Amino acid sequence: MEREYEVYGHAQFEKIRGISVAQIYNLRHSNRYRVKHYIHTKPVISRIGERARPEPQGHPGFIRVDTVHQGDDKRQKGVYHINAVDEVTQWEIVASVSRITEYDLEPLLENMLNQFPFHVRGFHSDNGGEFVNRTVAELLNKLLIRFTRSRPRRPDDNGLVESKNGSIIRKNLGYAHIPQGCASLLNVYHREHLNPYINFHRPCFFPVAVIDHKGKAKNTYPYEKIKTPYEQLKSLPQVETYLRPGISLETLDAIANQMSDNQCAERMVKARYNLLKQTNRLSPCEANRLPPGPFFD
């Protein structure tokens, strides 16, 4: 208002140019100011997926899913990892994809679901668009899998898989850029080395709820409850009822007893060294010329 009078010479602003800030706040609290109506920005509400926390009730098959990006190199996007973890047994399946589009994710997710030895009954993700879309919803609906997603202001809804992102994916593959075209090479490594190791040979902590003197439940992690995901699966009552057709405990036992924990870890480390050596040797243009699929043989 000062500029309207002093710079541009508009005489009607001569008196009002000296108004104080306090008086402006007083005017904003007046009834005349408050009768004005404002239309607030309405958030986009997606009807896909249910905003709820999964309740497995001790049954396997309720998985948590998240995406991990393997870094950028200037303008070149890196590969994406899809991490899926069962809440009860911590059975984990890792896969990689060049792009997180609906077209690329649909066959990958379907193959990941088939890699779990038990029936998948629930699918929980965050609110990212790579999962909250009609393509994924139709796939899960076809497989009779309940689709839930994280609730607002509840950052711990997907905490299990996010912790696995760091302790499994980042610990094994780090943060360095891996070209998108290397997704097929990574999936061979995941299927033959990483996934068998973390499910049959890598022990995990499993929580035990303890009620304190105030009646509040608190999770503890006793040493005697440390098991591999497969050992936790076998410890469930009537475990045979959860297994998919064609999968038996004898088949899984044969995989678990094929080699010791350290032997499997040593084999995985050597395969990871060869994988990273091969991806680093390829230029981004050469890596992008690699065939993007099929994701799994």
- In this structure, the answer to whether residues 195 and 281 fall within a common structural domain is yes
Average pLDDT value for the chain:
86
The reply to whether 63 and 206 lie within a common domain is: yes
**What is the residue range of 12's domain?**
2-34
C-alpha pair distances (Å), 24 with each of 16, 31, 53, 119, 288: 11, 14, 47, 65, 60
Q: Is the pTM of this model over 0.95?
A: no
State the total domains in the chain. 2
pLDDT digits (tens, 9 = 90+) for 163-186: 999 999 999 998 888 988 899 999
Q: Is residue 39 part of a domain?
A: no
**One domain for residues 14 and 153:** no
* Judgement on whether residues 25 and 139 belong to the same structural domain of the protein: no
Same domain, 222 and 128: yes
Distance CA 217, CA 234 (A): 26
Q: Is the pLDDT of residue 152 over 60?
A: yes
Sequential DSSP letters for 43-109: PPPP-SSEE-----TT-S-EEEEEEEE--EETTEEB-EEEEEEETTT--EEEEEES--SHHHHHHHH
Q: What is the DSSP track for 113-147?
A: HHHSSB---EEEE-S-TTTSSHHHHHHHHHTT-EE
Establish if 296 belongs to a structural domain.
no
Same domain, 105 and 219: yes
Same domain, 281 and 138: yes
Are 81 and 24 members of one domain?
no
Structure tokens at 63: 């998985």
pLDDT reading at 294 higher than 60: no
Q: Are residues 9 and 133 in the same domain?
A: no
pLDDT at 287 over 60: no
Q: Are residues 10 and 115 in the same domain?
A: no
Same domain, 146 and 28: no
Q: Is residue 68 in a domain?
A: yes
Q: pLDDT tens digits for 185-223?
A: 999 999 999 999 999 999 999 988 888 888 888 888 999
168 found inside a domain: yes
Task: Please state the rounded mean pLDDT for residues 240-263.
Answer: 93
Is 45 within a domain? Answer: no
pLDDT in tens, 20-29: 888 888 888 8
Q: In terms of domains, do 10 and 86 share one?
A: no
pLDDT of residue 43: 63
Q: Which amino acid is at 39?
A: I
**pLDDT over threshold 80, residue 227:** yes
Q: Tell me which range, 37-46, 71-80, 159-168, is most confidently predicted by mean pLDDT.
A: 159-168
Query: Is residue 18's pLDDT more than 90?
Result: no
